[in-house]
Amino acid sequence: MCLFCKIVNKESSADIVYKNDKFLVFKDIQPKAPIHLLIVPKKHIPSINHLNLQDKELIGEMFLVAQTIAKNQGLNKKGYRLIINVGKEAGQIIDHLHLHLLGGWERSEKLKVKN
């Protein structure tokens, strides 16, 4: 079982900030921003490459969860980033689909991470 499935099954711990019937949201263990959360579907889908047509509603919901979390964290007006890494070369290390939500930078810090 993959690490994120273990977190979903409570076999591994995580700092969970939100959950509903289909998603878990927890803090990234190695945050790359003052606020760095992972939005994780409970269903094991290895990556965007593995999506099926029947997942389209779930993926839509994943972004609605991101919107809710951003608002809860007070980021909706300031701005935030949503990132999905697909495959090893893009930096995907956990083969269980997840959406990174990053934000909370100071103004000067934000410029540094701008592409």
The correct pick among 19, 28, 44, 76 for binding ligand AMP (CB under 6 A) is 28
Name 112's Cβ contacts closer than 8 Å, sequence gap at least 6. Answer: none
Tell me the site size for ligand AMP, rule CB under 6 A: 12
Select the binding partner of residue 14 from ligand AMP, Zn ion, none (C-beta < 5 to 8 A, by kind): ligand AMP
Catalytic residue among 36, 96, 98, 100: 98
**Residue 98 designated active-site:** yes
86 binds ligand AMP (CB under 6 A): no
For CA atoms 16, 62, 41, 103, give the dihedral sign. Answer: negative
Dmax (CA) for the chain in angstroms is: 42
93 binds ligand AMP (CB under 6 A): yes
98 binds Zn ion (CB under 5 A): no
Which 25-64 positions form the footprint of Zn ion (CB under 5 A)?
44
Name 44's Cβ contacts closer than 8 Å, sequence gap at least 6. Answer: 2, 4, 5, 96
Name 43's Cβ contacts closer than 8 Å, sequence gap at least 6. Answer: 22, 55, 58
Please list the active-site residues: 98
The residues of the shown chain that bind Zn ion, judged by CB under 5 A, are 2, 4-5, 44, 96
